[in-house]
Structure 1
């Protein structure tokens, strides 16, 4: 069963704690870390799971990052990865530096990845369009109350996300003409 929670400012605090750990442990192997997903948007209902995109310059750094993340208790999930967005899963609930465990999804994206661009564009759009946040919240509640499976819930959100991304791309094209 999927449980949604009202926006919680502690999600941002949790992201910052995780970001600090990854910046410390990965150092110059990465060029940034972004908080993406519903927990990164004020007013958004969400599953209490932090989504993080660790950004690397290019795939030349990936093997070093994978090795470091393995040392931190993460396994590279090849079956859920594709070029531009690599997925990692925790094998235990202990983080380095005595940080408390915070449920999270971890991705590594190269800086030119379309997946990274989609994550950031969608997040930034919702942060500046409260009416879209409300519409997305209503969709999520509808999906959860209709007894959707996790796969159905995710699929049910996909059309909304693609429509927003299409609108963003169209607006960018219109401004360039």
Structure 2
């Protein structure tokens, strides 16, 4: 078994284009159940270093209807991972060990949708936080020699603190 290593790179202009292409594919593929497709995660934030994996938030009208259509996602290279640790989510990965996309699907109105969008928009609006986060991500990936668990743990306190601030900030912004 190959152990994946975290690689954090400087922001790439093509990430927005990669998202737009996948967004069109997903919308065409899933049609009526799609209520929103959002670029989230670090690749959605200009000037933020990131793992080169496009995170996509898919809002659907009916999570069970998505499950009945998961074969369509599998046919274009996604692997279904179920809830993958978050109740109410359906999670898919694309690209195998060299992942290219993470798809996080939630029923419209799920609180996780708001959290993801608030965090993204907060980072976009607060360059000083974005810069600290970029530095932390690069340093942590290096310090843990790319270990996935160590990387996640090394960022968790910062992310939780900034997420709380983002939610408070978003209440006055949306």
Which residue of the partner structure matches residue 18 of structure 1? 22
- Secondary structure (helix, strand or coil) at the match of 1:105 reads strand
> In 2 relative to 1, CA 79–61 (structure 1 residues): closer, same or farther, beyond 3 Å?
closer
Q: 1:125 aligns with which of 118, 122, 134?
A: 122
Unpaired segments ≥5 residues, structure 1: 93-101
> In 2 relative to 1, CA 137–22 (structure 1 residues): closer, same or farther, beyond 3 Å?
same
CA distance in 2, matches of 1:63, 1:3: 31
Which residue of the partner structure matches residue 35 of structure 1? 39
Query: Post-superposition shift, 1:91?
Result: 7.4
Which residue of the partner structure matches residue 104 of structure 1? 101
Unpaired segments ≥5 residues, structure 2: none
- Secondary structure (helix, strand or coil) at the match of 1:78 reads coil
Which residue of the partner structure matches residue 132 of structure 2? 135
Mean Cα deviation higher: 49-58 or 12-21 = 49-58
TM-score normalised according to structure 1 size: 0.82
TM-score normalised according to structure 2 size: 0.84
Q: 1:164 aligns with which of 153, 162, 165?
A: 162
Residues 1:82 and 2:86 are matched in the alignment: yes
The root-mean-square deviation of aligned C-alpha atoms, in Å, is: 2.4
> In 2 relative to 1, CA 161–64 (structure 1 residues): closer, same or farther, beyond 3 Å?
same
Larger radius of gyration: 1
CA contact (8 A) 1:84 1:115 kept: no
- Secondary structure (helix, strand or coil) at the match of 2:20 reads helix
Query: Post-superposition shift, 1:31?
Result: 0.7
